[in-house]
Amino acid sequence: MTYPPNNDPYGQNPPPQPYGAPQQPYGAPQPPYGAPQQPYGGPPPGQYGGQPPYGAPGYGTAPASAYASWIQRVGAYLIDGFVMAPFYILGVAIGRSTDSATGVTSVNAFFFISYLIGLVVFGYNRWFQAGKTGQSWGKKALGIRLVSEQTGQPIGAGMAFLRDLAHFVDGVICYVGYLFPLWDAKKQTLADKIVKTLVVS
């Protein structure tokens, strides 16, 4: 993978050629015909051509996006996890009973019902909500969004579900995959790379 990534939308890299930078002096050697015109990391030809200049009306209010930081993502993940906590606590509180004769603790139907409701709420939040709008409740609270790397749009419930399945890869290597946003150029986990998603702020 190259860094910065090609056409990186959220990269925090210096622009290739700021206005006011020294121009090619008169009389300087010209590149030969056939030589590459585009310097590495620069925008494709004509990219800026049709755009109004920076500072022009409209750009002042344009939202500037960036990759979400690791800590933001952790916060969102924790909030999404805590959403299930009441159901699990309820399950443990009312779903367990102890046999007075043997003293053995067993679980009853309330335990499984509470866990099932917790799973449904988790699925609605992490897969349906996050897939449809790009924001689970945790991401919404932290002001970050899950989008497709290719389209920039929310990825849909199915892909959001697959992404959570792909988190298995992040976990199986001692959870190091979850740390990838700390150093990755696009701040992606391995699951993000597998399903081609970005988390942006």
Partner 1 sequence: MSESWHQLPPLPALSGSRGEESAAYDRGAILRSRGVLLRTFSVPERLGGLGLLVAAGAAVWPTLTERTGGALPCPLRTLTGVPCPACGLTTAAIALVRGEAGAAFGANPVIFGLAALAVAAGPLVALRATGVLKPPRPFSPAQRRRTGWLCGLLAVASWLFQLHRLGVSRSF
**Residues in contact with partner 1 by the rule CB under 8 A:** 2-15, 18-21, 43-44, 47-48, 51, 53-55, 59-66, 70-71, 149-153, 171-176, 179, 182-183, 185
Toward partner 1, which CB reaches closer, 51 or 102? 51
Helix (H) or strand (E) holding 87: helix 85-94
CB of 47 to partner 1, least distance (A): 6
Toward partner 1, which CB reaches closer, 43 or 123? 43
* Structure tokens that stand for 26 in this block: 């008169």
CB of 14 to partner 1, least distance (A): 4
111 contact partners, CB below 8 Å, separation of at least 6:
91, 92, 94, 95, 96
CB of 180 to partner 1, least distance (A): 11
48 contact partners, CB below 8 Å, separation of at least 6:
none
Q: Is 53 helix (H, G, I), strand (E, B) or coil?
A: coil
Phi–psi pair at 17, nearest 5 degrees: -145, 90
Toward partner 1, which CB reaches closer, 36 or 44? 44
CB of 27 to partner 1, least distance (A): 27
Toward partner 1, which CB reaches closer, 3 or 120? 3
Gap between the Cα atoms of 13 and 17, Å rounded: 12
Toward partner 1, which CB reaches closer, 34 or 60? 60
* Structure tokens that stand for 109 in this block: 């139907």
CB of 137 to partner 1, least distance (A): 22
Gap between the Cα atoms of 108 and 98, Å rounded: 10
